[in-house]
Amino acid sequence: MFKQIMDKLTGEPLANEQHGSEKYNVPFGLAVMASDAISSVAYAAEAILGVLIPVIGVASYVWLGYISLMIIGLLAVLTISYIQIIRAYPQGGGAYIVAKENIGVKYGLIAGASLLIDYILTVAVSASAGIAAITSAIPSLVPYTVQLVVILIVVLTILNLRGIGESSKIFSVPTYLFILSMITMIIFGLIRYPIAGPGKAMPGIDHNVTAMGAISVFLIMKAFSQGCSALTGLEAVSNSVPNFQEPRQKKAISVMLLLSSLIFFIFGGTSLLARFYHAVPQASGTPTVISQIAYSVFGGYSFMFFAVQFTTAFILLMACNTAFTGFPMLMYVMGKDGYAPRQFTIRGKRLSFSTGIVFLTVIAGLLVIGFKADLEKLIPMYSVGVFLSFTLAQLGMVIHWRKSKEKGWQKRAAINGFGALVTILTTIVIISIKFLEGAWIVAILIVLLVVIFSSIKKHYDRVACNLRVETEELAEMKIEKKFDHIFVVPIASLNKATLGALKYARSITPDVVALNISTDKEHMAKLEARWKVLDTDILLVQKYSPYRAVVTPLIQYIEAVANAAGPNEQITVVLPQFITHEWWGEILHNHTSFFLRESLLRNDNVTITSFPYHLHEEKDEK
C-alpha cells in the first residue's frame, strides 16, 4: 500500500536507458536554475535602498545607480569565470572542484561546505519568504506559518523526486510568467517615464525622506553587500553541468549566459525604475519596492499590477527549487570523491539523486522548525556561504590558468584575480556586518562539516585499504579451503521458524548448538520436555537469566564459543525470523534478532545469517 502511494506521488520507476530523457535542455534548464537568482534580483534594489535611504535620504537614488553598476560589473566577472569553470570542469561540482584541485583539498571542502549550507538556507529562507507573502495577504494563516512552510518544502520534494524531466516542466511555468511580467514592467516603465513622468504614487507611502547622516565607504560597502543578493544562485549552473543534455557544456554555457542576461536586465531595470519612480522601502516590508513600482508604472491596481504581484509570490515559493538541483548534484560529486556517504551517489527510481533531495528536505525542515520560519533570524546566515565559495572559485581559477599556461592565460587570470579581490572584500563586509546576527553559526557549521567530510574520507580510505586485493595475490588465494563449521541457533521456543532454522543448520554440519536463554524456569522445563520429543542429535544449551536480560547472555555465550574455536573453525549464528505480510506486522514483534545481529557483527570470527520463515494468512473455508 505504501509503495502504491509513493508511486502515485513520485511516479513509476524509470529504467537506466531512460537517463538521457531525464536531463535539461536549455529552456527547462534555465527555468530550474533561474528561480533562486531572479527572485533575489527582484529585491536587490530594495535591499540597497533599505541601507541607504535612512542615512542619506534622496541621494540614495543616485548611489543606487553607482552600486548597481558595481554589482553588474561583478556579475560580468563571475559569469566569465563560471563559463570558464564549466569548460574546464564539465563533471560538475563548481567551486568545490576548482578549489580542491587548484588550492587544496581543505579549501575544496570549505567551498563545498559553504555551498551546501547556502543551499539549505536557500530552501528555508525562500520557502519562509513565500509563505510570509501569503500570510501577509491572509493574516488568519499566521499561526500556521511553520506548518505551511514545511508542507511547501515537502510538496517541492515530491515534485523533485518525480525526476528532472517532469519537475523542470512543472517549475518552468511560474518562472517564465515571472520573467515575462518583470520584462513587461521594466520596458513599459522605461518608455512611460520620459512621456508621463513618475506617475501616481501608491497610497500610504511617504516619499519625503530625510537624510540622517553622510555617505561613507562603510555605508557603500554595506549597501553593496546587501545588493549582492542579486548574485546568489549564479553558481548553480556550474554545479549541475552533468544534468544537461549533450553537448552538456554548450547547453550549460547557454543557460549561464541567459541567466546572467536576465539578472542584468531585471536587476538593472528595477534599479532604474526604483530611481525614476522613487520607490521607498518600508520598515514593515510591505508594500514592497516592486509593488510600488508596478503601481506607478501601470497606473494603479490594474491587471498587470496584480500579474506582477502574483508571479512574484509564485517565484518566491519556487525560489528554493534551485537548491533541490544544486544540493544533490554537489553531494553526488563529493560522494564520488569519498567525502560524503556513498548513498548520495545512487540515483533513485526516477533517476534523480533522491537521497540528496530527501536529506535536504529533512535538514531544511528542521531549520524552519528550529527558527520558527522567522526570516529575521534566518536571513543573517544567508549569502555568507555563497560568497565564500565565489572567492575560492576565483582564486582556484587564477591558479588553474597559471598552471595551464594556455594561450591568453594572463588575461583570464587577471579577470579571475579581480573577481577574487571583489568577492573577498564582499565576503569580509558580509561577515563583519552579519557575524553577531547569526553568521557565526555558519562559520562554525563550515568548520564542523569540513571535519566530518575529512573523517568520512579517512573511513572510506581505511576500508578500501583493508578490502583491497592485489592482482598477484589472487593466484595465491585458495577459495576451495574448507572450514569446520559450528552453528549456533538461538531459540525461544520450538516453533516452525526455529525448527526450520535448526534443519537448515543441521543440513550443513553436525556441529549445531540450540541456545536458549530464558527468564522463566518453568518455561525452560517445558522446552526441555518438548526437546526430548523432538529426538535429535542437536545439543540444547539452556541458560537461566535471573535479571531478565536475554541479548547479553546470548552474546556472551556465542563469543565464548568463538574465542574457543580453532583457526579453521567458523562460527555461524542462524537467527530464525518470521516474515509477516502486513506492512505493520514488524512493529508488533520484538527485535531481539536485530540487536543480536548488530552486536555480533563486531566479532570477526562470527558469521550471521537469517533464516526467514514466511507467515501465510490462513483463510477460513466456507
Tens of pLDDT along 76-117?
888 888 888 888 787 767 788 889 989 999 999 999 999 899
DSSP, collapsed to helix, strand or coil, labels residue 482 as: coil
Percent of the chain with pLDDT over 90: 14
The number of beta carbons lying within 10 Å of the beta carbon of residue 91 is 10
Rounded Cα distance between 126 and 379, Å, is 10
Residue 428 has pLDDT above 90, yes or no: no
DSSP lists the bridge partners of residue 614 as 579
Average pLDDT taken over every residue of the chain: 80
Which H/E stretch holds residue 578? strand 569-579
- Better-scored residue on pLDDT, 17 or 311: 311
pLDDT of residue 180: 92
Range picked from 5-9, 165-169, 569-573 for highest mean pLDDT:
569-573
What phi and psi, each to the nearest 5 degrees, are found at residue 244? -90, 155
Half-sphere exposure of residue 299, counting CA atoms within 13 Å on the CB side?
A: 5
pLDDT confidence bin for 133, thresholds 50/70/90 = low
Is residue 129's pLDDT more than 60?
Answer: yes
If pLDDT is split at 50, 70 and 90, which confidence band does 489 have?
very high
Question: Residue 538 — left, alpha, or beta (φ > 0 → left; ψ -120 to 50 → alpha)?
Answer: beta
Local confidence band at 546 (pLDDT 50, 70, 90 cut-offs): confident
Residue 270: all three cell numbers together: 528595477
The better pLDDT of the pair 256, 3 is held by: 256
Categorize the per-residue pLDDT at 512 as very low, low, confident or very high, splitting at 50, 70 and 90: very high
Structural domain spans, the chain? 9-461, 484-614
| Residue where the block lists cell 519537475 | 167
Burial letters 403-437, b for 16+ CB under 10 A, else e: eeeeeeeeebbebbbbbbebbbebbebbbebbeee
Rounded to an integer, the average pLDDT of 41-56 is 79
Contacts of 203 (CB under 8 A, 6+ apart): none
Query: Between the ranges 312-316, 345-349, 363-367, 603-607, where is the mean pLDDT highest?
Result: 363-367
Q: Which residues touch 105 (CB under 8 Å, ≥6 apart)?
A: none
Alpha-carbon distance of 187 to 459, in angstroms, equals 57
Categorize the per-residue pLDDT at 18 as very low, low, confident or very high, splitting at 50, 70 and 90: very low
User: What are the contacts of 554-557 at 24+ separation with CB within 8 A?
Assistant: 554/490, 554/515, 554/517, 554/596, 555/596, 555/599, 555/600, 557/488, 557/515, 557/517
CA dihedral in degrees (218, 224, 228, 229; nearest 10)? 80
Q: Which CATH superfamily is domain 484-614 in?
A: HUPs (3.40.50.620)
Return the pLDDT at 17.
43
CATH of 9-461, one of 3.40.640.10, 3.40.50.720, 1.20.1740.10, 3.40.50.1100: 1.20.1740.10
Digit-coded pLDDT (tens) for 318-369: 777 778 888 888 898 898 888 988 888 877 655 567 888 899 999 999 999 9
Distance from the Cα of residue 125 to its chain's centroid: 14
**Chain center to CA of 612:** 37
The predicted-structure confidence for 437-473, as pLDDT tens digits, reads as follows: 777 888 899 999 999 999 999 988 887 787 676 666 6
Asked if 9-461 and 484-614 have one fold, the answer is: no
Q: Which residue has the cell 513587461?
A: 184
Residue 233: closest CA among 363, 322, 112, 127? 322
Residue 355's CB is within 10 A of a number of other CB atoms, namely 21
Does position 2 have pLDDT exceeding 50, yes or no? no
Given a cut of 80, whether residue 583 has pLDDT beyond it is no
The torsion defined by the Cα of 161, 166, 169 and 172, in degrees rounded to 10, comes to 10
Contact (CB, 8 A) for 163 and 11? yes
Reported as a single tens digit per residue, the pLDDT across 173-202 is 888 898 999 999 999 999 998 888 777 777
Peptide bond into 247 cis (omega under 30): yes
137 vs 132: which has the higher pLDDT: 132
Which CA distances in Å does 193 have to 200, 266, 274, 298, 336?
12, 17, 12, 11, 54
The model's confidence at residue 46, banded by pLDDT at 50, 70 and 90, is confident
What residue has cell string 573453525?
569
Indicate whether 16 pLDDT > 50: no
- Residues facing 115 on adjacent strands: none
Nearest to 497 by CA among 614, 618, 617, 590: 614
How distant is the alpha carbon of residue 161 from its chain centre?
13
- Give residue 328's identity as a one-letter amino acid code: P
| Region 528-554 average pLDDT | 85
Confidence band of 559 (pLDDT split at 50, 70, 90): confident
Q: 52, 278 in Cβ contact below 8 A?
A: no
